[in-house]
Structure 1
Amino acid sequence: MKLLFIGARLFDDVAIYTKEKGINTVITESNPHAQNLDLADSYHIVPRGMEQPKEIAIKEDVDGVVPLIGIDGPLKELALLKEELERDYSLPVVASPLESVSIAGNKVKTKEFLLKNDIKTPEYDLISSGQKIPKEYPLVLKQAHGQGGKDIKITLSQEDVHSYLEKYGTALAERFIDGIEISVEILRWKNHSVPLVPVSKGKTTLDGIHPLEKLKKAPLHIDDITLEAETNNYNQAIRNIASDVADRLNIEGTADLDLIFDKSNKNTYVLEINTRPSGTRYLTAASSDINPLHEIVDMATGSWQNINVSKRMKDYYALEIPVGDYFSGKNNYHFREFHGENSWIIHGPSNHQRITIRGKDEKNALKTAAQLNLNLDNIKN
């Protein structure tokens, strides 16, 4: 079995898994200085775009293609590659099709899709310079394209809005919701969906702190929901929403859904859909024992079964803590898997490292954090 991986940056998360499975691995990468190139059996430095990966996939006679792309920019071109390789060469490409990517990659189209399918999402307006400006604040302004908090501003006055519009001209405007940010990853292949564990990415803040800088937890627990049965029911409701969105949008491979719990009215709203590997994948793996990137490898080899994933899911407690720089020899591919009930991994680039902890329960996870000398009191959540 031979697989082509497009992109080297995330390959360290699957390098050991592919070796264990006896898979011959080939990487295409546009950056000759990218990390993880030597972890594959072979690699090719190629120009940006999908033309060279397509030619290499055909020439190398691979059995499947696994894109390891964590940014939105190349996803449309990737979807076109998928269409061609699957149609003309019967070669599976574990990525979402063009229509799915086009909707998910545009916040306005995403809103239209959600409303059309009666899926709750915050009310919005499209505003531009010279138009009447909303008077209710705080107001969240966004651009149609962008990820990771890019070009998002929480405005507190008309002056803030005018300043934003002077720079961008137009904006998608939503009311600011005082609540909890939520993420849930979804696996979907051959019309079968498996929503994974809902993750809490912390409380919303007026200063717009990105979730990467917050303490994150899994499984999700809302303080207003006190009984375990209520929490379980709420988490299942989140998973049901994720599965519904994935099926309606025809997502393939791995994706994640961003939602928000509104503390004022107790409603849950869908914000965004991301048809690519998620930044919460370590929390997902820690809490459920399901590694989304391993699962997309199985999809490419033809061994993936949704029923088996559901049977393998565990119920651990997990924390993810931003640490900036933390001295450890474990920040490499040899230590990217969780073992047993109480374990931890470190990941991320210099200055932006994070430690993800698995515990049998919350008490054990906090005990591990203390053993690592991590002070959680100063981290927003």
Structure 2
Amino acid sequence: MKILFIGSRLFDDISWYTKEKGITSIITESNEHAPNIDLADKHYIVERGMDKPGEIALKEDVDAVIPLIGIDKPLVDVGLLKDKLESENGIPVVAAGYDCAKLAADKYQTKELLLENDIKTPLFRKVDEKYNTDEIKKELPIVLKTPEGQGGSGVKIALNDDDVEEFIKDKDNVFTEEYVEGFEASIEVLRWNNQEISLAPIYKGITTTEGTHPLAKIKQGPLDIGGLDNNSHNKALRSLAEKLAQLVNVEGTMDIDILHDTTKSEDYIIELNTRPSGTRYMTAATTDVYPLCQLVDMACGKWTAKNVEGKMNNYYSAELPVGDFPQDKKIPENKVFDGDVSYVVHGPEHYQRLTLRAPTRDLLNKLIYELVPGYAKENDIQFQ
């Protein structure tokens, strides 16, 4: 089995798995200094875009292609590559097709689709001559967005008139979104060959008018916040995630961003992302299912939703933005949870994150205080 991976930044998440499965791995990467290149059996440094990866897929006669791209903009071109390689060459590409990727990359179009299908999303309006800035300023605080925003870019929580004027200046594609008081969550869904399965909803912290980046927040899994009934609420979110995966006909993996309104006890869908999720370590910690490894199984033709469901476990988990993990503590060689009480460390120097799991919250708290006592005390961490 020979698989071409497009992009090397996330390859260390699954290099151990390709070796375990005896898969020959090839990477294409546009940055010769990018990490993880040497983890593959072979690599090519190529110009940006999907033309060269497509040529190399044919040249190397690969059995499948897996894009490991974590930003939205190139995903539309990935979709075009997928449609071409699959229809003309019979090479499966484990990613969203063009139509799905194009939809997900346009946050305004996504919200229109949600509205058309009676799926709750925060109220939104396009900024145009009929919806002028004076009207917007009457609705503060309000969220301002551009359709192509991602991970905090292209997004502004406007608290005053100056915030509104500054954001919309020199932009002709802004829309507003109702600011929701509550908390953020996300859920990953896997889909291949018309089979889909959603994984565990992950708590990503309360909404704030400061617009704190998700990477700077403490995450918890599974979602069980504010007295919500964990089983029934999470079951409903998983069902909704699978409905969305079917609706947009995604393939590979999709990350769904959710806002929970604590005043109305309602869930709103805000984004669909057809790329590896920033919560993938939390998903793995909570369920024992590694989303990127599942993409490899899809490429190998050995994936079914039923098999994934049968492998899913239930752990308590947390992810902490610790900055620098203590030097006197061991960092696991592979990003794999080794045992019921275990952890992984990921992220670049000075921006490292610690993801942990345990079968009980007491054991989870104990592990946190053993590994990062200073951070735990400073942030008063004690999961109940």
Q: Same fold (TM over 0.5)?
A: yes
SS of 2:169's equivalent in the other structure is: helix
1:197 lines up with 2:200 in the alignment:
yes
Q: TM-score, normalised by structure 2?
A: 0.95
**What is the CA-CA distance between 1:377 and the residue it aligns to?**
5.5
* AA at the equivalent of 2:38: D
CA contact (8 A) 2:250 2:274 kept: yes
**What is the CA-CA distance between 1:335 and the residue it aligns to?**
2.6
User: Which whole-Å CA distance do the structure 2 matches of 1:45 and 1:52 have between them?
Assistant: 9
- 1:115-147 Cα deviation digits (max 9, x unpaired): 111100001111147824321221011111021
For structure 1, the 5+ residue unaligned runs are: none
**What is the CA-CA distance between 1:380 and the residue it aligns to?**
9.8
Q: Give the counterpart of 1:180 among 180, 183, 192.
A: 183
SS of 1:80's equivalent in the other structure is: helix
User: Which whole-Å CA distance do the structure 2 matches of 1:380 and 1:111 have between them?
Assistant: 37
* AA at the equivalent of 2:238: R
Where does residue 280 of structure 1 map in the other structure? 279
CA contact (8 A) 1:72 1:105 kept: yes
**What is the CA-CA distance between 1:174 and the residue it aligns to?**
1.2
SS of 1:344's equivalent in the other structure is: strand
SS of 1:180's equivalent in the other structure is: strand
1:171 lines up with 2:174 in the alignment:
yes
User: Which whole-Å CA distance do the structure 2 matches of 1:29 and 1:372 have between them?
Assistant: 35
1:222 lines up with 2:225 in the alignment:
yes
Taking only the aligned residue pairs, the percentage that are identical comes to 46
SS of 2:135's equivalent in the other structure is: coil
1:109 lines up with 2:109 in the alignment:
yes
CA contact (8 A) 2:326 2:372 kept: no
Where does residue 82 of structure 1 map in the other structure? 82
**What is the CA-CA distance between 1:151 and the residue it aligns to?**
2.2
User: Which whole-Å CA distance do the structure 1 matches of 2:331 and 2:273 have between them?
Assistant: 26
Residue correspondence of structure 1 range 110-149 to structure 2 within 5 A: 110-128=110-128, 131=132, 132-134=134-136, 135-149=138-152
CA contact (8 A) 2:147 2:173 kept: no
User: Which whole-Å CA distance do the structure 1 matches of 2:162 and 2:32 have between them?
Assistant: 45
Q: Give the counterpart of 1:208 among 199, 211, 216.
A: 211
Q: TM-score, normalised by structure 1?
A: 0.95
Where does residue 316 of structure 2 map in the other structure? 317
**What is the CA-CA distance between 1:42 and the residue it aligns to?**
0.5
SS of 1:133's equivalent in the other structure is: helix
**What is the CA-CA distance between 1:163 and the residue it aligns to?**
2.2
CA separation of 1:101/1:193 partners in 2, compared to 1, >3 Å: closer, same or farther? same
**What is the CA-CA distance between 1:366 and the residue it aligns to?**
0.8
For structure 2, the 5+ residue unaligned runs are: none
User: Which whole-Å CA distance do the structure 1 matches of 2:30 and 2:62 have between them?
Assistant: 19
Superposition RMSD in Å: 1.6
Residue correspondence of structure 1 range 242-281 to structure 2 within 5 A: 242-281=241-280
CA contact (8 A) 1:330 1:346 kept: no
CA separation of 1:373/1:194 partners in 2, compared to 1, >3 Å: closer, same or farther? same
* AA at the equivalent of 1:232: N
User: Which whole-Å CA distance do the structure 2 matches of 1:52 and 1:169 have between them?
Assistant: 34
SS of 1:335's equivalent in the other structure is: coil
**What is the CA-CA distance between 1:161 and the residue it aligns to?**
1.1
**What is the CA-CA distance between 1:156 and the residue it aligns to?**
1.6
CA contact (8 A) 1:106 1:145 kept: yes
**What is the CA-CA distance between 1:165 and the residue it aligns to?**
1.5
SS of 2:52's equivalent in the other structure is: helix
Where does residue 359 of structure 2 map in the other structure? 360
**What is the CA-CA distance between 1:158 and the residue it aligns to?**
2.7
Q: For this pair of structures, how many residues does the alignment match?
A: 376
CA separation of 1:48/1:170 partners in 2, compared to 1, >3 Å: closer, same or farther? closer
